[in-house]
Structure formats: C-alpha cells, structure tokens
Structure 1
Amino acid sequence: MSTHQSPQKTTALTIRFSQIDSEINLKKLADELQGDWDGRELHVDSAQIKLNVKSYKYMDDIFVELCEMETINVCHFFHAPKIDSEYIFVRVGFSGVILNLEGGNDFDSNGIFMYSSNQQFEIEYPAGVKARWLTIKYPRRLYNMFGLDKDFGLKEQMTRDNIPWIYYFPLDHEVEEYVKTMFMAGKTGNGRYSTPFSRSIDILGAIKEKFQLDAAEGTPDRIHPDDFNKIITIKNQILLRMDHAPRLEELSMEHGMSVSKLNRLFKSIFKHPVLKFYNLQKIEEVRRKVQHSADTLSDIAEDMGFSHVAHMSRVFKKHYGYPPSDLRKINAF
C-alpha cells in the first residue's frame, strides 16, 4: 500500500492497498500518514483524513477490520488486484455516504459486496463525508469452513484461479444488526475478542442464504475495471441524493455510455437496473430513519423527496406489508 499527493489535485489523497495482511497495510498507512498503530488499532487525524481502523486476526490468515472515516479533502482508495492471491473479501458499507457517527444510531447503508482478491476497483470519497465499513478477508481454502458447502451456488466461479468476480447484496436488517454489534463491542473497549469472528460467521451465513435465493438468476458477470469504477461512481451519486430520482440520460452522458449499457452494467453488479435500485434503496433508507431517528414521519417524507407523508406511507406499506407508523409504535416499546 502506498499513498501520494496527486500533482493535478493537491488536495486529493490517494491510498493504494497492495497487501492482504491487514497488519502490514495498516502499519504502512500509519507511517505514511503520520498516524498511530499499536498492532491492533490505527488512528489517523490529519489535515486530509480522520481514520480509525480496528484490526482483528484469527488463525493467522483471517482478518476482520472495523473502519470509520471522515474525509476533509477528496480521498481515492485503490484496491490493486492480487493475481497470485487466493482470498475472498466481504465488505459491508462499501463506499462513502454521509453518515452521522455522533448520533450512534445511523448506519452506512450502501450494501454488501463479496469479491475476489484480484478484483480491481477504485472508490472516490468526496470531501466532508463520514463513513464506516466492515471488511472480512479469508483464504479461499477455508471456503467450506464458513458453511459454503458443495451445494452452495457460485462455488465453481468463486474457486477458479485468477478469475476476478464480484457480487452485491442490499444491506438488510439482519446483517446491519450483526455489524452494529461489532462496532458497539469495539467502542466499549471491553468487548470480547471473539465477537468480530463470531459475527463474521453469522454474516457469511446470511450471505450464503442470499446466494441461494439468487441462484436462479445466474452467476455475476465479469466486468472491466474501468466500467466497474464508473458504475460504483454512479451508485455513489445516486445514494448521495436520495431525495432526487436519478436521470438516466444525464448519467449516461456524464459517464460516456448509452442508457442501455448503463442499465446492463448496473444490473450485472447491483442485481437491478438503476431506477429500481434507487427505489429499493430509498425505501430502505426510510425504514432506517423511521426505526433509528426521532424525526417525524412528515420530516422524513420531505427529506426523502416524497410529495407528502401519505405517499411515503403507501410506498412503505407496499414494500414491507405494514405502514411506517406501525414500525415506529413497535420501536416505542
């Protein structure tokens, strides 16, 4: 992993990850950003970025990272492909969305990504973004250990040598609660060392169930790194403006592709075309606000771009089977 200042954009920070071993990466990052690394936790508080990473290592080659970040300037993260590596990565909260860490209830809702260690990608975090994410890294040889048995869908693709692949799932309540438990344990300072490992097993079990449900839709498409980066950028643009529906023509012109190609590539990663993905993420964000915030339903409807609260309630009930007012009554107990 290396960092450098861009000669064109002096305010941008670039971070390249080049090692599987979390301890090696975090120690180098501490040296290059004048941060503190004590062998378990990285803390960086610079003029460009505030970053805190708790790292856990199990059985010598399983890594779990809990990351919290605030960007002061634009920040680029590069994941360089490791052709000779045989690791599987899982990330929850893959890229930057504005997040209120101080409140303690909000959570980054970007989703779950599972990908091979030789999948190349780049993420740009704008200045002024707060985000947090979980990373699980484990060797491909431990595939069966995590409940991914011989009947598990996509095993053939995931275990083929040197073939990059990536898969996406929306972040649901079950996985969200697992990750929040891990962050809460890390913040208390007295959480058990086994908690990140046991919750990681739970997350991988939940992902297995998602794969089985999606098996009928086939295996994920391989995608060129340049196209992948464009689609990730488009996804970030959508999630940063949840109160406005994306305009496909504008997005296609901005990123140099037709609307049909945009939807095809987007669906190959996110399982849905752009507008359906937006609508699903929007109503899921409404659920989080109803469940975790003290905002009134009218305020939530306005913030999320609904014409009125009745409209939001109809959409919510159609998706979840009950109105948001019922969810708020449950949370009041």
Structure 2
Amino acid sequence: MKDEKETMKNTKPVLLELREGQVENYFKAMYDHFGGELKSNSYYLKKGTTLVHGTAIQLTEGIEFSIIDAIHSEALKMVRIPDNNPDYYHLVIIHTGEYTQTFEQELLKLEANSTKGIFIYNGMFPLEAEFPANSPYKAITFKFQKSCLEDIIPEAAAMLKTMYPTDEGLAYHIPTTNEVNQLVDDILRYQKGIYGAKAMIKARAFEALVITMKIMEQMTDDELHGLHIDDYNRLMRIKKHLLDSLTDTINVEAIAEEFAISVSKLNRDFKALFDMTIYKFYTRAKMDEAYRRLQTGNYSVAEVGYDLGYSSLPKFSEMFKKVKGINPSDVVAL
C-alpha cells in the first residue's frame, strides 16, 4: 500500500519548455517532442488517443490569434520562459477543460478545476501550466502588442494603463460570459472547415476580443483583481501547504498568520487565482485524493476515509458523493 502511494506521487507529466511569445513557439515545442505535422501557421498531431489541432492567424499587425482543440493521453507540463516584454500581452479564453497555473519550479497539481474563464498576463515572469491527461481542452488565445491593440480598440488604452501601471509581472483571472462562449463555439466549428472559414474565424475573433476588453473595463476594482508575482508565489506555497495537510483540519486565520497575509487578502487572492474558496479547494483536494486511492483497488473506503481525517465514515461518504457524484463504495467496485 505504501509503494502504491509513492507510485501515485511520483507520476510525472511530459515536460515541454519554451520561451513565451508567439504561438509558433508552442507549436514547435509540441512538434519537437511529439512529431506530427508542423506548418507555418498550424500544428496537427494524431497518435493513438492523442489528438491536437492548433491554428494561428495574424488578425492584424501586432495581434496574433490562435485556436487549440486537444486531448492528450499523457499529462503535459508546459514551462514558459519569460519574454520580458512588458508591452506584449497574452490573453487566454478557455472554452472546455482546465489547466493549472504554477509560478514556481515545483509542480503542484491543482485539484478539481481551476483557472477556467479568461486569463490575461504579461510575459514578465516564468509560468508553468499543467494539462491533465485524457481531458479535452479547447481554447482561443490572443497575443498582442499594447500599441497595436490600442490602434484598433482605442477605448482599451485607459483600462490597460490601469491594469498594468508598471512593468512588473501581473496577471488577472476574469470570468467569461455566455456571449464570449458562443463566439468561441462558432470559431471552433469554423475551424473544422466551411466556406470562408478564415474570414469567419477572424470576424468572430475580433468580436470576442472587443467584448472581452469591454468586460474588463466594466468590472470594479474588487472584481478585476490582479495578482503580482509575489502574490502568486505566496499562494503556491499556501496551496502546497494545503495539499501536504490533507489529513488535518484547516484554519484560515492560522494560515494567514503563518504566511504573513491578512485574512481578507488571503480569501480574495485565493478566490481570484483558483476560482473557489480555500475551504472548497481543500475539500475537493481531499475528495480527488480519495478517488485516486479508491480507484487503485488497494484501499477500502474505511482506510481512505480515516486516513484523510474523517472520524465519521457516513460523513466522508456524503461529502465524497456531493463532490464526485458517486458513492466511494461504487468506485471500489469499478
């Protein structure tokens, strides 16, 4: 049983390292590692259950757009080296799936979702992203020079200045909307090929970009909460603390004191980065760990429940079903 735990802990994703910047850097990193078909503006890979389809389009000078539709049989960890260009921004709109952002060399897998919606950042700090295995992932991205964006959306200039008043590393998580999701739906459908597909994709991409800028402009200071690299690094340490303490009972006040942060800022920053409260994150982390152990068939429900700090097995089973939608005993049977 101990060996099984160690095996589960030591499972590592495929590592890809690249310099932040244009989409071709991403496509080339995938091609160099996995092979496939690489063209000047696209990448395609079909191998077993792995399917990756990426397309890049130059919307206008200084603004690049890309589409990614993928499912990979192995977990991927993408390490992005900073481009150190404070006026070059990266905007990701996630349509399907999830991935984990990490701002330290150590990979700390985020349990049960996170970073869904819209993520905008400048390439002034190292950034890691882990994509889980066998999980569909669909997204669109914009990479743009600040001056070029302001040429086509001059109304965005004041908002970007407010969001990025200095050249230091800063990132924002922003909730998406049904309107943006519908535009991404159209783009993904057009990518499969219709008459005038490229023109239709560009039209929808421009519309999605304008609407996203407008969403950010309309958000209040509390809603549009950016996190500096120091905030991220602290949150990564807090996340590690939580994941290393799955058998304990957490105390937010004690965590805030240990990591030298106010409770209100801790709660706000954690929600901004992980899109959930600390308590919800911790509970989901416990249930994900419970599921992994039960799925091996090497643990009983009682062993898992007690080991994860539950003194009442009915309470453990109730929480497990609430989070996972299945009884823990059913996982053992499977």
TM-score with structure 2 length normalisation?
A: 0.61
Q: Which residue of 1 aligns with 2:83?
A: 82
Distance in 1, matches of 2:157 and 2:145, equals 19
Q: Structure 1 pair 180/133, CA: closer, same or farther in 2 (3 Å)?
A: same
Q: Distance in 2 between matches of 1:41 and 1:19?
A: 17
Contact 2:85–2:123 (Cα < 8 Å) also in 1: no
Task: Give the structure 1 partner of residue 233 of structure 2.
Answer: 226
Match for 2:126: what amino acid?
Q
Q: Say whether the 8 Å CA contact 1:42–1:54 is kept in structure 2.
A: yes
Q: Give the equivalent residue in structure 1 for 2:21.
A: 20
Alignment match, 1:63: 64
Deviation at 1:76, TM superposition (A): 0.7
Pairs aligned (count): 255
CA contact (8 A) 2:94 2:116 kept: yes
Larger gyration radius, structure 1 or structure 2: 2
Q: Which runs of 5+ in 1 are unaligned?
A: 1-7, 99-107, 238-246, 279-302, 308-333
Instruction: Quote the residue 1:267 is aligned against.
Output: 271
Is the Cα–Cα contact under 8 Å of residues 249 and 259 in structure 1 kept in the other structure? no
Counterparts of 1:45-64 in structure 2, within 5 Å, are 45-46=46-47, 49-64=50-65
What letter corresponds to residue 18 of structure 1 in structure 2?
A: R
Q: CA deviation at 1:175?
A: 0.4
Q: Deviations over 1:180-239 (max 9, x none)?
A: 1111111125443233332222222222322232234365231335346578999xx9xx
Alignment of 1:287-306 (within 5 A): none
Structure 2 CA distance, aligned partners of 1:213 and 1:132?
26
1:139 Cα deviation after fit: 0.8
RMSD: 4.3
Contact 1:146 1:205 in 2 (8 A): no
Higher relative contact order by CA 8 Å / sep ≥ 6: 1 or 2?
2
Task: Work out the CA distance in 1 between the residues paired with 2:120 and 2:151.
Answer: 17
Alignment partner for residue 142 of structure 1, among 148, 153, 162?
A: 148
Q: Deviations over 1:125-153 (max 9, x none)?
A: 22221111111111111232342527733
Displacement after TM superposition at 1:19 (Å): 4.3
* Structure 1 counterpart SS, 2:192: helix
Find the counterpart in structure 2 of residue 126 from structure 1. 132
The Cα offsets for residues 227-279 of structure 1, whole Å up to 9 and x where unpaired, read as 46578999xx9xxxxxxxxx99399999x96994752322344687457999x
- Decide whether aligned partners of structure 1 residues 270 and 148 sit closer, same or farther in structure 2, where only a CA change above 3 A counts: farther
The verdict on how the C-alpha distance between 1:273 and 1:24 changes in structure 2, with shifts beyond 3 A counting, is closer
Question: Using the alignment, how far apart are the partners of 1:163 and 1:142 within structure 2?
Answer: 20
